[in-house]
């Protein structure tokens, strides 16, 4: 069954949602939150290099040769939920009033369905998506034991990378956002990230600087990886991080 068919089936199911499977790791994901071009792909890739399950993710391209590490099913779910809410890509950020917490259990059921269909059999797993800051209250509700890693990066570097990659465009996806609009988008993301850090219990959230990782601060990275419940793999980490690429591409 395709991701879309699974998603359609889950969304059309109005019965009382019941847990489809019990596994202690399934209820305790590692959630990577950050801005566009802020280092979330790198951080998620590093978690994967240290043993975290990712499921089927977006492949790499010229802008992210190592891969985006963005779960395809989760991406489809969140985009559809935003569309249902009336959000479109020309909006700076969807207001939090769009988020209906009554949908949280359904989101949980959909994610379980997709993970099991992809062969998840247990163990630590990690999720990343640029829309997570919009839906962080959803994820906090359905995964109250999750470990949150917030990837931080200098705003000027984020802006430069977003302009180069052109990840956001005005309808009909032809004209790039101006620097002023992109700046507001970045500020909005950072406000959401600050909200996550402020409102989650301190033992469930850690910040890490993408710039510091690229600069060689593996001590902090090792600490965060082990705090997240993974086994730090120094050789895999060194192989994954390519400073010249990450400095250039973001």
Tens-place pLDDT, residues 11-66: 555 444 445 445 656 788 999 999 988 999 999 999 999 999 998 887 777 777 78
CA neighbor of 147 nearest in space, from 209, 229, 87: 229
β-pair partners for 128? 32
Domain ranges of the chain: 3-229
The more confidently predicted of residues 162 and 31 is 31
Tokens 């009336």 locate to 86
CA pair distance 221, 242, nearest whole angstrom? 15
What's the helix, strand, coil split of the chain in %, to 5?
A: 50, 10, 40
In the predicted model, what is the mean pLDDT of residues 209-232?
94
At a CB cut-off of 8 Å and minimum separation 6, what does 121 contact?
A: none
pLDDT digit string, tens, across residues 135-144 = 888 889 889 9
pTM of the prediction? 0.84
Under CATH, what is the fold of the domain 3-229? Rossmann fold (3.40.50)
Is the predicted pLDDT of residue 218 greater than 60, yes or no?
yes
Is residue 146 within 8 A of residue 132, CB to CB? The reply is: no
89, 173 contact by CB (below 8 A): yes
For CA atoms 99, 102, 105, 111, give the dihedral sign: negative
At 247, list the tokens: 């400095």
Q: Order of strands across the sheet with 126-128? A: 126-128, 30-33, 147-152, 205-209
Residue 105 has pLDDT above 80, yes or no: no
Tokens of 236: 């895999």
pLDDT single digits (tens) 74-103 = 777 777 766 666 665 544 565 666 566 666
- What SS3 class is residue 215? coil
* Whole-angstrom distance, CA of residue 26 vs CA of residue 112: 8
Query: Cβ–Cβ contacts within 10 Å for residue 131, how many?
Result: 17
User: What whole-number distance in Å separates Cα of residue 143 and Cα of residue 108?
Assistant: 9
Percent of the chain scored above 70 by pLDDT? Answer: 73
């Amino acid at each position: 069954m395709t991701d879309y068919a699974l998603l359609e089936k889950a969304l059309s199911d109005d019965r009382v949602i019941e847990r489809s499977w019990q596994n202690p790791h399934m209820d305790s994901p590692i959630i990577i939150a950050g801005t566009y071009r802020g280092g979330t792909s790198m951080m998620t890739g590093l978690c994967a290099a240290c043993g975290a399950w990712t499921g089927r993710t977006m492949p790499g391209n010229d802008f992210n040769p190592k891969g985006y590490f963005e779960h395809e099913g989760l991406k489809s779910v969140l985009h559809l939920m935003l569309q249902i809410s009336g959000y479109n890509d020309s909006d700076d950020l969807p207001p939090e009033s769009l988020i209906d917490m009554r949908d949280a259990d359904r989101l949980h059921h959909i994610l379980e369905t997709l993970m099991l269909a992809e062969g998840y059999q247990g163990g630590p797993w990690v999720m990343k998506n640029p829309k997570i800051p919009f839906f962080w209250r959803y994820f906090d509700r359905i995964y109250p034991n999750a470990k949150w890693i917030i990837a931080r990066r200098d705003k000027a570097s984020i802006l430069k990378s977003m302009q180069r990659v052109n990840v956001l465009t005005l309808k009909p996806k032809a004209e790039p956002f101006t620097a002023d609009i992109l700046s507001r988008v970045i500020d909005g993301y950072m406000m959401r990230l600050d909200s996550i850090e402020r409102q989650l219990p301190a033992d469930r959230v850690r910040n890490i600087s993408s710039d510091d990782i690229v600069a060689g601060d593996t001590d902090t990275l090792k600490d965060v990886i082990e705090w997240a419940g993974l086994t730090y793999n120094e050789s895999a980490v060194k192989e994954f991080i390519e400073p010249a690429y990450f400095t250039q591409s973001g």
